[in-house]
Structure 1
């Protein structure tokens, strides 16, 4: 009774094959993360800025700060 013959492991081209798989996977994962960031963080932030500046009155804000004494000219 003889021992069964084992198949030879693939060594030639193994790095290129595995690298190709990992590069493609990394590309799609990074694309997914970028998309989630855009719609989960960047777009809501832009909308919040849009809403803030839609009703923001710089002159009124300046007058309120002036009345509160925020600006201290020449009193050093």
Structure 2
């Protein structure tokens, strides 16, 4: 039976290499999440607000609320 010598694992700098890989991975994931939040949540919300206020008439809304009796100090 022949015995083969198993090479020793390199332990010098192992933590530094793993940290570099993990930091790069975390950076990529955080950029992806930031882009998803911006283009999936913030931009549609800004567009919805812009669409709502494009044709919004505050006086008409006020008159409807006044007629419904929401305001007690305005007749």
Cα deviation, 1:6-41, whole Å, max 9, x if unaligned, reads: 111111110100000010011011101111111111
Runs of 4+ in structure 1 off by over 3 angstroms are: none
Normalised by the length of structure 2, the TM-score is: 0.90
Other-structure match for 1:37: 37
Q: Report matched runs for 1:1-76 at 5 Å.
A: 1-73=1-73
Shift of 1:2: 4.3
The separation in 1 between residues aligned to 2:72 and 2:23, in whole angstroms, is 58
Compute the RMSD of aligned alpha carbons. 1.0
**TM-score normalised according to structure 1 size:** 0.89
Structure ranking higher on relative contact order (CA contacts 8 Å, 6+ apart): 2
Does the residue aligned with 2:52 lie in a helix, a strand or coil?
helix
Unaligned runs of 5+ residues in structure 1 are none
In 2, Cα distance between the equivalents of 1:10 and 1:67? 80
Q: Tell me the distance in 2 between the aligned counterparts of 1:23 and 1:55.
A: 48
Deviation for aligned residue 1:72: 1.7
Deviation at 1:52, TM superposition (A): 0.1
